[in-house]
Structure 1
Amino acid sequence: MPRNIRVISIIFAFFASLTASAADPTATAYTADECCGTHIPYPERNHDTAIPDSLTAVFINHVGRHGARYPSSAANTTEVSRTLHRADSAGALTPSGRELMKLADFVAAKSHNRWGALDSLGMAEQRGIASRMYKAYPHLFKGGNVSAISSYAPRCVMSMYEFTHQLDRLNNNVEIITSSGRQNSQLMRPFDLDSEYIEWRDSKAWEEPYNMAYETTAPTAPARRLTGDFLSSDDARRLSMAAYNMLSCLPAMGLPNELAKYFTPEEYNALWSLANLRFYLRYSANTLSTLPSDIASALLMNLISTTDDAVLGQSPQTVMLRFGHAETMMPLLSLMRIRGCYYMTNYFDTTALHWRDFSVVPMAANLQMILLRSKSGNYYVRFDLNEQPVPLLPNSDAIYLPWVTARQYLNHCLPLHLQI
Structure 2
Amino acid sequence: MLHKKSLLFSAALLLAATAVNAQNCNSDWLGTKTLYKAPAYHPSVVPAGYKPVFINHVGRHGARHLTKEVNTSFAWQLLHRADSAKALTAAGQHLWKLVQNLTAVEKGQVKSISDEGRDELRGIGKRMYAHYPSVFTGKVELNVGYTKEIRTKQSADAFLQGLKAGFKDSADVKEYNDDTDLRFYDSSPTYTAFEDGGSWEKPMNTLRESLKIDVVNHTLAVKWFQPAFLKTLKPAQEDKLVGDVFGFATIVYSLQAEIKKAGYQWTDVNFAPLFTCAEQAALSKLDVADDYLKKAPGTDANGIQVRIAVPLLVNFINTTDEFIKTGKPNAQLRLAHAETIAPFAALLGMTGADKVAADMKNIEAAWKSSNVIPLSSNIQWIFYRKAGTTDLLVKFLLNEKEVHITGLKNASTYYHWKDVRAFYVNKLNKLNVGLGDDMAAYLKNVK
The TM-score with structure 1 as length reference comes to: 0.83
CA deviation after TM superposition for structure 1 residue 141, in Å: 1.6
Q: Contact 1:187 / 1:299 at 8 angstroms: preserved in 2?
A: yes
Q: Which residue of 2 aligns with 1:4?
A: none
Name which of 31, 42, 55 aligns with 1:37.
31
Structure 1 residue runs without a partner (length 5+): 1-29
What are the Cα deviations for residues 336-395 of structure 1, in whole angstroms up to 9, with x where unaligned? Answer: 121221232585333343222111111111001001123573321111111111112357
* Structure 2: distance between partners of 1:64 and 1:248: 21
Structure 1 segment 16-415 matched on structure 2, within 5 A:
32-47=26-41, 49=43, 51-52=45-46, 54=48, 55-74=50-69, 78-143=73-138, 144-171=140-167, 173-181=169-177, 184-203=178-197, 206-217=200-211, 218=213, 219-220=216-217, 221-227=219-225, 229=227, 230-231=229-230, 232=233, 234=235, 235-254=237-256, 258=270, 260-287=272-299, 290-310=303-323, 312-345=324-357, 347-374=359-386, 377=389, 378-394=391-407, 398-414=412-428, 415=430
Q: Cα RMSD (Å) of the superposition? A: 2.8
CA positional deviation for 1:228: 5.5
CA contact (8 A) 2:125 2:161 kept: no
The alpha carbon displacement at 1:313 in A equals: 4.3
Shift of residue 51 of structure 1? 4.6
For residues 31 and 91 of structure 2, the distance between their equivalents in structure 1, rounded to whole angstroms, comes to 24
In 1, are the aligned partners of 2:126 and 2:165 still within 8 Å (CA)?
no
Report the CA distance shift for 1:406/1:109 in structure 2 as closer, same or farther (over 3 A). Answer: same
Q: What one-letter code is carried by the residue in structure 2 that aligns with 1:159? A: S
1:66–1:363 contact (8 Å) kept in structure 2? yes
Q: Matched residues in 2 for 1:381 and 1:253: separation? A: 37
The change in CA–CA distance for 1:45 and 1:397 in structure 2 (over 3 A counts) is same
TM-score (norm 2): 0.78
Which amino acid is the alignment partner of residue 224 of structure 2?
L
Q: 2: CA distance between counterparts of 1:180 and 1:214?
A: 42
Does the C-alpha gap of structure 1 residues 324 and 346 become closer, same or farther in structure 2, counting only changes over 3 Å?
same
* CA 202–85 in structure 1, closer or farther in 2 if over 3 Å, else same: closer
Alignment size in residue pairs? 389
State the 1:302 CA deviation.
1.5
Structure 1 window deviating more from structure 2 (407-416 vs 245-254): it is: 407-416
- What is the CA-CA distance between 1:63 and the residue it aligns to? 0.4
**Percent same amino acid at aligned positions?**
28
Q: Which runs of 5+ in 2 are unaligned?
A: 1-23, 260-265, 436-447
Contact 2:58 2:334 in 1 (8 A): yes
The Cα shift of 1:92 comes to: 4.2
